[in-house]
Amino acid sequence: MSTPAPLPTLFLSHGSPMIAIEPGEAGLFMQRLGPAIDRIWGRPRAIVIMSPHTATRTPFVLGAAHHDTIHDFGGFPEALDDIYYDAPGEPALAQQVAHLLADAGLLAQFTPQGGLDHGIWTTLMHLYPQVDVPVVPVSLTPQSKPAELLAMGRLLHSLTTQGVLVIGSGSLTHNLHRFFRHPTPVDAPEESDCAAFRAWVQARTDSADWPALLDYRAQAPFAVEMHPTDEHWLPFYFAAGASTQGEAMPALGKRLHASVTHGHLAMDAYGFGAGAALLADALALG
């Protein structure tokens, strides 16, 4: 039986750092996601990942041979500071990523520095708790437009045929001002504007309506309420772009998980590429 190729690319919502000790529905989904990928494609040889918590003015590719866990938050239980996900890096792959970006004209730079922010390690600790998959973080440029992140992801499509899993880690919705202004329990019922935004994203992704998705701030219902700023949403486009090549728009997208915490913090996950539907079926079967 031939192995499906290439790997799908993923957008995962990481939510609060508390997902490290209180996985909830999204964390439990990610605990099933890693084994599902392994069953179909085998263990990825490396992960290239973008998180909003490693942000720079121009793109950087972190090429350390070893990444320390960065506890880049405050006001949470001390137990979070006792969790470490010190993962291996892969400097040669980081150099390759930097070259792929730079050769296309992006001001991308390799750096031997490393470290995994909480948008990375709280996700990967559920996918691959064995800490045995090398990680190459790519910094987010939060001033970029969705189309620019989509184009950036496209430049890395070739990696998906080489056993590299490309992930954008962010949040399907992210309005912390609202959360702190009107605190709600983690299991609060979903609020109507969150539901409308999530449904719009799913419908546009299912129909590959990328002109609308790229113009989400103008076209999506309650876009400003769900994303006062773009940084937690932009990794969606990076992941989607990596599923295709050339100038083609991503054709296949599939919601792999849907859940909401605190009434308006959505934890949905998406897969992109030819393998996304296969992965969704595998997850549905358990």
pLDDT above 70 (res 180): no
Residue-level pLDDT at 281: 93
Residue-wise pLDDT for 44-73, tens only, equals 999 999 999 999 999 999 999 999 999 998
285 — pLDDT class (breaks 50, 70, 90):
confident
Q: What is the mean pLDDT of the chain?
A: 93
Residue-wise pLDDT for 102-121, tens only, equals 999 999 999 999 999 999 99
Is pTM beyond 0.85? Reply is: yes
157 — pLDDT class (breaks 50, 70, 90):
very high
H, E, C per residue of the chain: CCCCCCCCEEEEECCCHHHHCCCHHHHHHHHHHHHHHHHHHCCCCEEEEEEEEEECCCCEEECCCECCECCCCCCCCHHHHHCCCCCECCHHHHHHHHHHHHHCCCCCEEECCCCECHHHHHHHHHHCCCCCCCEEEEEECCCCCHHHHHHHHHCCHHHHHCCEEEEEEECCCCCHHHHHHCCCCCCCCCCHHHHHHHHHHHHHHHCCCHHHHHCHHHHCCCHHHHCCCCCCCHHHHHHHHCCCCCCCCCCCEEEEECCEECCCEECCEEEECCCHHHHHHHHHHC
pLDDT above 60 (res 2): no
Domains of the chain (ranges, CATH numbers)? 9-285 (3.40.830.10)
Instruction: Tell me which of 51-55, 88-92, 149-153, 259-263 is least confident.
Output: 259-263
* Rounded mean pLDDT, 156-180: 90
Residue-wise pLDDT for 21-42, tens only, equals 999 999 999 999 999 999 999 9
Residue-wise pLDDT for 198-243, tens only, equals 999 999 999 999 999 999 999 999 999 999 999 999 999 999 999 9
86 — pLDDT class (breaks 50, 70, 90):
very high
pLDDT above 50 (res 1): no
